[in-house]
Amino acid sequence: MGQQYLKGQVYLKEEDGVKTVIKRYNDYSSFKWQIVPLIANTSYPMTSSPESRLERELELYNEKIEGVNLPKIIRYNKEDLTLEKEYIEGNPPYKETKLLGELMYNLHSHGYVLGDSKIDNFILNEKDKKVYLIDSEQVYKSNDDRLKAWDIDLLFSSLSYNLNIIDYRKAIREFKSTYFLWDGVSRYTIDTRNAAVLLPMPLPNIIVLLSEIYLNLDRLD
């Protein structure tokens, strides 16, 4: 039996040929915990509390939302703030945004927002070809369209560094085709509160994203 460090607070465990992932919520080695307090309560109600992050993750599991695929929980411990779950083989679904749109729609339409919606927090399973959400510690119960827009902005900001401009436009359009809340939510994706997510993007990608948003707003008007 051994554990291998993966990233942030996540470790890979292998025992008798079976791989699982162990998450330690009280591990602050990741740089992101230095910036979470700067974002919290301005753009999105994030939490840096280990206890709250574990509780939020477990809450989503307890909801059992159809179409929101999650790795199975093996065990968790609220005293030492750890969670062990199955390891999903695969890679981030950079070009599977139809599946991402479906998952995000199912999550949002059931009154939850994700918060940390970077593309690396999703995995396309090599076996069943489903997209899994592998990190839900910032999930939050809300029907606020502005928070749903935050999820979309952060997702497409992270995608902008992984796709060429042609594939990036295609990714947005495929997401829109299965995210059935787009008409109501898209107007908030240009909210000034989300500027911290959008401004670091490459300029061509910002132009493409804004053009897809304004195309939709023109149609609605």
Average pLDDT over residues 64-93: 96
Please give the pLDDT value at position 31: 47
Are 186 and 214 in contact, with CB atoms under 8 Å apart? no
| Among candidate residues 55, 47, 45, the one with its CA nearest the CA of residue 144 | 45
* Domain ranges within the chain, ordered by starting residue: 2-220
Are 114 and 106 in contact, with CB atoms under 8 Å apart? no
Percent of the chain with pLDDT over 70: 86
User: What's the rounded Cα separation, in Å, for the pair 188 and 197?
Assistant: 13
Q: For the chain, first and last CA: distance in Å? A: 60
Q: Is the pLDDT of residue 35 over 80?
A: no
Please give the pLDDT value at position 190: 87
What is the chain's mean pLDDT, rounded? 89
Q: From 3.40.50.261, 1.10.10.10, 3.40.50.620, 1.10.510.10, which CATH number describes the 2-220 domain? A: 1.10.510.10
Over residues 167-217, the pLDDT tens digits come to 999 999 999 999 999 999 998 998 888 888 888 899 999 999 999 888 765
Are 186 and 148 in contact, with CB atoms under 8 Å apart? no
| Among candidate residues 4, 211, 178, 168, the one with its CA nearest the CA of residue 100 | 178
Confidence of residue 48 (pLDDT cuts 50, 70, 90): confident
Average pLDDT over residues 126-136: 95
Please give the pLDDT value at position 30: 53
| Among candidate residues 109, 205, 177, 175, the one with its CA nearest the CA of residue 148 | 109
Q: Is the pLDDT of residue 12 over 60?
A: yes
Of 32-46, 64-78, 141-155, the one with minimum mean pLDDT is 32-46
Q: Is the pLDDT of residue 161 over 50?
A: yes
Please give the pLDDT value at position 195: 81
Average pLDDT over residues 119-130: 95
User: What's the rounded Cα separation, in Å, for the pair 89 and 21?
Assistant: 11
Confidence of residue 88 (pLDDT cuts 50, 70, 90): very high
For residue 196, give both structure tokens.
């911290």
Q: Is the pLDDT of residue 152 over 80?
A: yes
What pTM value is reported for the model? Answer: 0.90
